[in-house]
């Protein structure tokens, strides 16, 4: 089956009891047993739920994985991977990534004795000097949040395989429509389903996909033991969102391309971070591992002050000033004070998440209206 068909059908059969074509929301905590231990495969809803099961099968299929696990949020999925580790273990992570992941690593797991090395993953060779006998996990995003750097996933996966290190790729920005990290050699793919998979800014959800059955068992055991499960209503909403992922992503990519070029040609805009530009440092790798370049981008005004950025951020109407991304509606965000505020300022400045940086999640409204909105805001700067 091709991806567009899997998005609509994978894991979903008409409900056997009624024929309902849409997977019902099994809003139940427990399941009646015929005799002790005799049941229909469901015992208690922290462990199993039919709506969640349909979603997990669909999620596995769209990332070309054997297994999917579905969580109450993206960070709950990240937390579950981190619980594979023990004090003394070391992690090599991208130095440009989601602020909440950085916070979980440095504020929760570092004090518990896990050691982190943050490197620029734009060059996979940066990983090698940090590998030692304690290195258990490499963590990267591509494109990264918010600077849109590209990691050569196949090259990083090769280094990880050579050294028997687990590789997790956060594929939230790209979505399974644009990129499939398991096919490139990653061990675990993570998504914040809150973003493009749900696609309508109406839920919080996360997921992990993988091929190794032993790894699946370990992660499922942690989830069952620690309880980071999604509710059936949210699973239903993600299933519904997935049915249009391909249609939405085509529109996000098309609008994203038009707006990236518009910004780049605007006299009040300085650098635009978007992997679709031929002079993006890893454009060739992006072209190789992605089907298109998506609707996320960041830029700096020619007046790179925080004050100019603030005037722009309060000057848009259609682009709503909000955290999050990947919904049908366009959003604008100030990483330094919003999504990435949990990263210390010195570290933010070092990697380029400066006061003047603005991030856009380009939605699927009419692109002429979006450009008129950006134009009006730029005129106020």
Binding residues for ligand PLP, rule: CB under 6 A, are 73-75, 98, 100-101, 141, 145, 170, 172-173, 192, 194-195, 204, 206
Active site residue 46: yes
- Asked if 109 is an active-site residue, the reply is no
Show the DSSP H helices in the chain as ranges.
3-9, 50-62, 74-82, 99-103, 153-162, 175-178, 213-226, 232-242, 245-264, 283-289, 306-313, 345-351, 367-379
Residue nearest to ligand PLP (CB): 74
Q: How far is the CB of 79 from ligand PLP (least distance, A)?
A: 9
Question: With contact defined as beta carbons under 8 Å apart, do 79 and 228 qualify?
Answer: yes
Q: Which is nearer to ligand PLP, 184 or 269 (CB)?
A: 184
Tokens found for residue 73: 């949020």
Instruction: Map tokens 């830029």 to a residue.
Output: 299
Catalytic residue among 195, 216, 257, 359: 195
Min dist CB 73 to ligand PLP, Å, is 3
Q: Considering beta carbons, is residue 238 or 301 the nearer one to ligand PLP?
A: 238
Both tokens of 125, joined, read 């060779």
The least CB distance from residue 300 to ligand PLP, in Å, is 20
Closest to ligand PLP by CB, 173 vs 273, is 173
**DSSP secondary structure of 34-70:** SBTTB-SS-SBTTT--HHHHHHHHHHHHHTT-SEEEE
98 catalytically annotated:
yes
Taking the least distance from each CB to ligand PLP, the nearer of 54 and 203 is 203
Provide, rounded to whole angstroms, the least separation between the CB of residue 41 and ligand PLP.
28
The one catalytic residue in 170, 187, 292, 373 is 170
Residue 287 bears catalytic tag: no
- Which residue among 31, 42, 46, 250 is the active-site one? 46
Strand order, beta sheet including 296-301: 269-273, 296-301, 357-361, 331-333, 320-321
| Cβ at position 99, least distance to ligand PLP in Å | 9
Please tell me the distance from the alpha carbon of residue 360 to that of residue 373, in angstroms, as a whole number.
13
From the candidates 6, 52, 95, 98, which is the catalytic residue?
98
Residue 221 · residue 193 · CB < 8 Å: no
Closest CA to 155 of 177, 107, 122, 130: 122
Residue 169 to residue 157: CA distance in whole angstroms: 10
**Residue 74 or 256: which CB sits closer to ligand PLP?**
74
- Mind telling me the catalytic residues? 46, 98, 170, 195
């Amino acid at each position: 089956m091709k991806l567009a068909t899997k998005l609509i059908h994978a894991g979903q059969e008409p409900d056997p009891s009624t024929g309902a074509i849409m997977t019902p929301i099994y809003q139940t905590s427990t399941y009646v047993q015929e005799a002790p231990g005799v049941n229909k495969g469901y015992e208690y809803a922290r462990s199993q739920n039919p709506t969640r099961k349909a979603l997990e099968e669909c999620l596995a299929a769209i990332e070309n994985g054997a297994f999917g696990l579905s969580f109450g949020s993206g960070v709950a999925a990240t937390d579950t991977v981190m619980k594979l580790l023990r004090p003394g273990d070391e992690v090599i992570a991208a130095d440009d990534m989601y602020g909440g992941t950085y916070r979980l690593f440095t504020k929760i797991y570092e004090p518990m004795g896990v050691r982190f090395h943050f490197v620029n993953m734009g060059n996979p060779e940066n990983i090698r000097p940090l590998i030692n006998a304690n290195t258990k996990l490499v963590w990267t995003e591509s494109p990264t949040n918010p600077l849109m750097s590209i990691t050569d996933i196949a090259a990083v996966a090769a280094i990880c395989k050579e050294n028997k290190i687990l590789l997790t790729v956060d594929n939230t920005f790209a979505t399974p429509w644009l990129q499939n990290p398991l096919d490139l050699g990653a061990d675990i793919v993570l998504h914040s389903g809150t973003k493009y998979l749900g696609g309508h800014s109406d839920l919080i959800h996360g997921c992990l996909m993988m091929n190794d059955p032993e790894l699946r068992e370990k992660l499922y055991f942690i989830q069952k033991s620690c309880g980071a499960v999604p509710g059936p209503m949210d699973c239903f909403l993600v299933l519904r969102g997935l049915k249009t992922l391909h249609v939405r992503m085509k529109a996000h990519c098309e609008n994203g391309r038009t707006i990236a070029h518009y910004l780049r040609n605007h006299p009040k805009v300085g650098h635009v971070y978007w992997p679709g530009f031929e002079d993006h440092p890893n454009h060739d790798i992006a072209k190789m591992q992605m089907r298109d370049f998506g609707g996320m981008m960041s830029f700096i005004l020619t007046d790179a002050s925080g004050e100019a950025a603030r005037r722009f951020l309060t000057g848009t109407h259609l682009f709503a000033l909000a955290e999050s991304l990947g919904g049908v509606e366009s959003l604008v965000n100030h990483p330094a004070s919003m999504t990435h505020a949990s990263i210390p300022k010195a570290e933010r400045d070092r990697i380029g998440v400066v006061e003047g940086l603005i991030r856009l999640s380009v939605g699927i409204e009419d692109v002429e209206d979006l450009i008129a909105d950006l134009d009006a805001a730029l005129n106020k700067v």
